[in-house]
């Protein structure tokens, strides 16, 4: 559910490597010392939630939806329920001892500098930087990365509460102009502006009703391509289904009403589209896919010929085709066509038939995740058992070396142009903060550009190990376990288990300041690489899709069983966390195996599998989850849909449901309805709370102070469920 989820385009890679470089929004545990009293089993007085009699019939099966009225999130009845839940949750969490200390500890460790890898356009280099506690990272520009840059865009000045953020951007080929998209209160809707790099002043251009897509400039600088939807009806902006996305061209200085439609699909409402201009400026490469399906088509427009039409290069979405770059009339494409773990092929635009492709980098045993063509080198980023390896090839496919990485972690970046002699990349792991390296393409050597220093945290004191366990059907699944060096497997370690398992997105080792605080005082972090993700290519992804989605939950449950069997922890000291598709994972897992977990934290989860397509971009997820119109897919979704599998009389773990009132990706009614159903089914058991953040969306662009408060609340809740409190004096866990 994170933006396009599957976009491997050049523009998407750059956005991910820059704007998204900041604080990981992971919710994990704080260290534990003295015991709390055992969690109270006295009944909370949950706000009343009327159970209606609404029933839908699918394929002859009646499915009740008693909280359908909550989908009108602005009705007086829904608002009264929301306010009651917010008061209850705030009061409950505020009374947990040391909640304030949790926030202070987390804030202290977040107070370190962060950078993105610099990227050159013309004579200018651009990078994002955060001094530590800035709510939003700041874009800098410099003529020399060895020298400090000047501020080009500071989103912290966009609003008093820092809830307006930059969500996407595109820099002109000569580095003189930047188009940047701004989001308000975490919404996926974004407004495009254009700023002069020399003066840091905005031009009058302003483009509305764009969502999730990036932008790409024509090389002559007269304008740029971007994506947009038709305006929603008044009052429906955060709810209405978004259909028929369009690729548009905007000419600088002209009104948006004059923008030119380049491509859309009139035959299906749920197609996503995007466009990249090649580095030499000759071609516009258009990518289109049905929803979040990794399979896509490619079209090409020759910009050197006035009036040239789009021509199909890949006509049917039979596989994933990610445009890398071109050399003259040859496109370099990353694809899983006849290569489930991906390969690189060269396609002559005059002869695009598969029989005429040239294989440049063949499929290997490891998953080829991304690739870029920089300075005459193909830089191929692989995943080997979910951690990074980076290999170099000539444009003809001859291996010419590797990029030496510091350890078991993840690397990203490696962007640039065909005439660059250097590129930059970031490296991090569960125990190593993100450091930025300069890579010399001629010598093949990396040198450190910037690395943060965390007060009181020494990465050498911690270990990350990778284990493999068997899922229910015997599938071998990898998992990372990170903890203080020498942590004993005594069956009593406070542990958090996290996962995602969907949309071809891999879970790779990355640094989180929250996890660092937890491990600093002896906690254990486990991240499972579930089916449905992208760790092992197409087959791994498809094994967790549609009617096979139950495999993902089985993998997650098996990870918990492994941690318990190997005495890392026990069910009273094991919590699970996930967001978005991972929120669905947490909710389904706690319903199917409530005996395994003490606490569950589900962020912005997809909880109603019968109704997700009715809101915002949800219809695009049918390529991942399936459609209620298909009888087999409907039955599979109904079998695990969190909302529809809440059962009375079950001793569910303590559960914290988290959403934002401006979440227009996973509509907040998913969380509202699930919370009401859980509270109704288990009113006398462990606490079932919902935390509803105001002026916040799905997560992107959330200001740092909101992240700190949200994380501290989640930590405090989990500690309550464990019956424990943070240790503020020692360097280890006092049991």
* Residues labelled as active-site residues: 580, 698
> What is the token pair recorded at 336?
């899983």
CA nearest neighbour of 580 among 658, 662, 640, 644: 658
* E strands, 133-236, in order: 138-142, 150-153, 164-171, 177-184, 189-196, 202-211, 215-217, 223-228
φ and ψ of 723, to 5 deg: 70, 40
Residue that the structure tokens 């071809």 belong to? 504
Structure tokens given for 553: 């939950």
Q: For residues 645 and 610, what is the distance between their CA atoms, to the nearest angstrom?
A: 12
**Which residues have C-beta within 8 Å of that of residue 91, sequence separation ≥ 6?**
none
| DSSP 8-state secondary structure symbol assigned to residue 230 | P
Contacts of 664 (CB under 8 A, 6+ apart): 187, 188, 189, 237, 238, 239, 616, 697, 698
Cα angle value 374/375/381 (rounded, 5°): 35
Q: Using the 8-state DSSP alphabet, how is residue 662 labeled? A: T
Taking a C-beta distance cutoff of 8 angstroms, is the pair 625, 637 a contact?
yes
Cross-strand partners of 427: 411, 435
- Which letter does DSSP use for residue 422 in this model? E
Alpha-carbon gap, residue 415 to 17, rounded angstroms:
9
Backbone angles phi, psi at 331, to 5 degrees: -95, 135
Starting at the edge strand found earlier in the chain, the sheet holding 283-290 runs 271-277, 283-290, 296-302, 311-314
- For residues 518 and 482, is the Cβ–Cβ distance under 8 A? no
For tokens 């993700």, what's the residue? 533
Of 597, 611, 621, the closest CA to residue 502 belongs to 621
CA 116 – CA 118 distance, rounded (Å): 6
CA dihedral 353, 359, 364, 369 (to 10 degrees): -70
Helix-, strand-, coil-residue percentages of the chain, each rounded to 5? 25, 30, 45
């Amino acid at each position: 559910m994170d933006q396009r989820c599957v976009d491997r385009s050049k523009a998407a890679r750059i956005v991910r490597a820059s704007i998204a470089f900041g604080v990981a929004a992971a919710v994990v545990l704080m260290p534990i010392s003295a015991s709390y009293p055992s969690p109270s089993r006295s009944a909370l007085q949950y706000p009343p939630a009327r159970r209606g009699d609404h029933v839908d019939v699918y394929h002859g099966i009646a499915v009740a939806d008693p909280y359908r009225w909550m989908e009108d999130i602005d009705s007086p009845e829904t608002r009264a329920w929301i306010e009651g839940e917010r008061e209850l949750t705030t009061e409950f969490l505020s009374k947990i001892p040391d909640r304030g200390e949790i926030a202070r500890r987390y804030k202290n460790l977040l107070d370190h500098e962060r950078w993105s890898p610099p990227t050159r356009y013309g004579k200018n280099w651009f990078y994002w930087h955060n001094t530590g506690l800035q709510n939003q990272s700041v874009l800098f520009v410099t003529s020399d990365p060895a020298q400090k840059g000047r501020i080009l865009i500071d989103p912290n000045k966009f609003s008093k509460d820092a809830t307006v953020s930059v969500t996407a951007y595109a820099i002109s080929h000569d580095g003189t102009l930047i188009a940047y998209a701004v989001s308000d209160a975490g919404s996926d809707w974004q407004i495009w502006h254009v700023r002069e790099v020399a003066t840091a002043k905005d031009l009058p251009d302003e483009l509305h009703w764009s969502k999730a897509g990036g932008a790409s400039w024509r090389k002559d600088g007269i304008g740029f391509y971007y994506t947009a939807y038709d305006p929603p009806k008044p009052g429906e902006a955060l709810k209405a289904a978004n259909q028929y996305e369009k690729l548009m061209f905007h000419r600088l200085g002209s009104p948006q009403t004059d923008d030119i439609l380049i491509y859309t699909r009139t035959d299906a409402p749920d197609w996503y589209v995007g466009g990249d201009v090649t580095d030499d400026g000759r071609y516009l490469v258009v990518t289109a896919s049905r929803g979040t399906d990794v399979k896509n088509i490619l079209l090409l427009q020759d910009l050197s010929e006035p009036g040239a039409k789009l021509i199909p290069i890949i006509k049917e979405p039979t596989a994933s085709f990610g445009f890398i770059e071109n050399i003259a009339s040859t496109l370099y494409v990353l694809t899983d066509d006849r290569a489930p773990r991906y390969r690189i092929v060269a396609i002559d635009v005059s002869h695009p038939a598969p029989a005429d492709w040239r294989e440049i980098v063949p499929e290997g045993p490891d998953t080829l995740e991304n690739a870029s063509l920089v300075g005459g080198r193909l830089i191929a980023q692989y995943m080997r058992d979910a951690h990074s390896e980076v290999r170099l090839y000539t444009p003809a496919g001859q291996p010419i070396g590797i990029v030496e990485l510091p350890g078991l972690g993840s690397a990203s970046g490696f962007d640039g142009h065909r005439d660059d002699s250097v590129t930059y990349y970031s490296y991090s792991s569960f125990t190593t903060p993100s450091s930025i390296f300069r890579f010399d393409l001629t010598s093949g050597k990396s040198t450190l550009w910037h690395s943060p220093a965390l007060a009181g945290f020494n990465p050498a004191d911690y270990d990350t190990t990778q284990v493999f366990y068997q899922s229910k059907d015997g599938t071998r699944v990898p998992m990372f376990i990170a903890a203080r060096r020498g942590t004993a497997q005594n069956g009593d370690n406070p542990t958090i288990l996290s996962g995602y398992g969907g949309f071809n997105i891999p879970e790779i080792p990355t640094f989180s300041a929250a996890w660092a605080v937890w491990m600093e005082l002896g906690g254990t972090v486990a991240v499972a690489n579930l089916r449905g993700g992208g760790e092992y290519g197409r087959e791994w992804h498809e094994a967790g899709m549609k009617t096979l989605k139950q495999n993902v939950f089985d993998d997650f449950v098996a990870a918990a069983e492994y941690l318990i069997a190997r005495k890392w922890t026990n069910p009273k000291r094991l919590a699970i966390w996930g967001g978005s598709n991972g929120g669905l994972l947490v909710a389904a897992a706690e319903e199917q195996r409530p005996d395994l977990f003490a606490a569950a934290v589900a962020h912005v989860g997809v909880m109603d599998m019968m109704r997700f397509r009715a809101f915002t971009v949800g219809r695009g997820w049918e390529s991942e989850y399936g459609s209620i119109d298909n009888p087999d897919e409907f039955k599979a979704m109904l079998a695990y849909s969190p909302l529809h599998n809440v059962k009375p009389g079950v001793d569910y773990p303590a559960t914290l449901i988290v959403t934002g009132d401006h979440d227009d990706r996973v509509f907040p009614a998913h969380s509202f309805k699930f919370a009401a159903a859980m509270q109704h089914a288990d009113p006398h058991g462990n606490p079932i709370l919902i935390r509803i953040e105001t002026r916040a969306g799905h997560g992107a662009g959330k200001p740092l102070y909101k992240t700190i408060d949200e994380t501290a609340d989640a930590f405090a809740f989990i500690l309550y469920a464990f019956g424990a409190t943070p240790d503020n004096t020692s360097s280890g866990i006092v049991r």
